[in-house]
Amino acid sequence: MAEVILMPRLSDTMTEGVIAAWHKKIGDPVKKGDLLAEIETDKATMELESYKDGTLLHIGGDKGAKIQVDDLLAIVGNAGEDISGLLSGKGQQKEAAAPSPSPQAQAQPAPAPQSQENKATGMDLSKMEEVVLMPRLSDTMTEGVIAAWHKKVGDPVKKGDVLADIETDKATMELESYKNGKLLYQGAQPGEKIAVNDLLCIIGDEGKVDVNSIVAASKGGVQPQAQAPQQPSSAPAAAQPAAQQPSQPAQATSQSTTPEGRIKASPLAKQLAREKGIDLSQVQGTGDNGRITKTDIDNYKPSQQAPVQQPAVQPSAPVVSGQEGHTDLTVSQMRKVIAKRLGESKFSAPHFYLTMEINMDNAMVARAQMNEVSDVKISFNDMVVKAAAMALRKHPAVNSSWMGDFIRQYQHIHIGVAVAIEDGLIVPVVRFADQKTLSQIATESKELAGKARNKKLQPNEFTGNTFTISNLGMMDIEEFTAIINPPDSAIMAVGRIKEIVVRKGEGFGVSNVMKITLSCDHRSVDGAVGASFLQTFKKYLENPVTMLV
């Protein structure tokens, strides 16, 4: 099915993009990851990749055309597919397009850049070429945490160099420079937060940029105390991660260190090392070209450990000794957003719960038969996704969102599948799940889950859900209730499949059953509606052949 691609916001101040070049023309086949176009923003010319396979059916403008952010950029679908509805229904493009933010994010305008003209200084930082503001790297991001700086104050910077790793509420992402110059100022040290559109850093010619005036403007016109521009913030050295302290003696260049002295490590490995207080220069990387990975951090053991104290004399009776203590764990950006959104959901949406037992005997037989011919292994969760999507087609009231003054019923069905990762929970989205085969759902679900665990999901892959499934059956959980994932009106909690003894004919036999619990928002879904949905879902799952018709 054709999908609309809207003009993304590729910089913090971008309002429109100019088509610098198209790398595909209408009718060309497109694969996921192919370069579609080059987009010129107010900051730089950036490459835009396709996020799906198909054929380029429409472009929103020729080379040199200006397109506003969130306006139609392109349509990718099947060759010969009718796209007249997408072209005429521009009002629904934001729902159909993957890169667009969730309904909540659309309802709340982005905060105005702090770098608007300051009355005390007369400076408009958003128009200064030397200023880099904290960009909005995800649709729900309000602030970013500096996971690591790849450049220090005074270092030369080239266009395309990685400046820093920024931890958002969704992932840790690399931020590249869009200009050449020297890094003159850093707005925060590793582990510190910077709000979206606040001053991140300054890059320019040391003799031509008044750093103190720019910093003063970013802080409301208060002139900071004079300081050498090369000096980092005055935070105690002990509070900085060991790999970031410029005052430490130089380490011998290892396999994980570049000739320039930068340690090669994944953003997640850097974050874990910072949280555990591990010096990356002491870790041996096992990734490509010696790159340090999460596994290296998990397996790292200090070379010297404190000797275990043994009692001088063994007492005749056992002696219990111990030391009280606790550990305070820093809350990640992702965990903060999870807490905020689910707290709002639990205490603003009136939840009610419906539990049903599903006989899985036929599903187990059908799955075994399908896996004999399928190129990819189909899981029970894939069958649950398919059955739920088809049931939603018959019960659109469940496929909805409470919007305050009205209820929005979606015509498309995008199933979010909750995936547990180290920092919390993220929900990749299987789009148009009702129209996909079980093999397609299985392939896409495995790919999305892998990208989620490696923090490689793109924004269009974890936004736009209309219904969510949370499955803990593989962890031997028999039954549980889940908190609704906004903006959905319902979430399905799936337990494990277990054997029970049942009466069969004149005797007894064993059947396989699975319990599912539907959490519903009573503002948009009534009890009878939720129950009818579950009855339809039960029919599909207990008779899997009906899902193939």
Q: Which residues are catalytic?
A: 522, 526
Q: Which long-range contacts (CB under 8 A, 24 or more apart) does 86-95 make?
A: 86/2, 86/4, 86/58, 87/58, 93/4, 93/6, 94/6, 94/70, 95/410, 95/412, 95/464
Question: Are the C-beta atoms of 164 and 147 separated by less than 8 Å?
Answer: yes
Judge whether 529 and 394 are in contact, CB under 8 Å: no
Residue 99 CB contacts under 8 Å (≥ 6 apart), including other chains: 5, 6, 8, 51, 459, 460
Write down how long the chain is: 549
User: For 136, phi and psi rounded to 5 degrees?
Assistant: -90, 105
Residue type, 394: K
Using alpha carbons only, give the angle 405, 411, 414 rounded to the nearest 5 degrees.
Answer: 100
Alpha helices in 169-307 (DSSP H): 211-218, 267-276, 294-299
SS percent in the chain: helix, strand, coil, step 5: 25, 25, 50
Of 147, 177, 313, 341, the residue nearest 244 (C-alpha): 147
Residue 31 · residue 37 · CB < 8 Å: no
Task: For residues 5 and 371, give the distance between their C-alpha atoms in angstroms, rounded to a whole number.
Answer: 34
Dihedral angle sign, alpha carbons of residues 257, 261, 262, 263:
positive
Nearest one of 361, 313, 338 to 500, comparing CA atoms? 361
**Distance separating alpha carbons of residues 539 and 549, to the nearest angstrom:** 13
Distance CA 499, CA 170 (A): 39
Handedness of CA 255, 258, 260, 266 (dihedral sign): negative
Exposure class string for 78-115: b at 16+ Cβ within 10 A, else e: eeeeeeeebeeeeeebbbbbbbbbbbebeeeeeeebbb
3-state secondary structure of 450: helix
Count CB neighbours of 53 within 10 A. Answer: 13
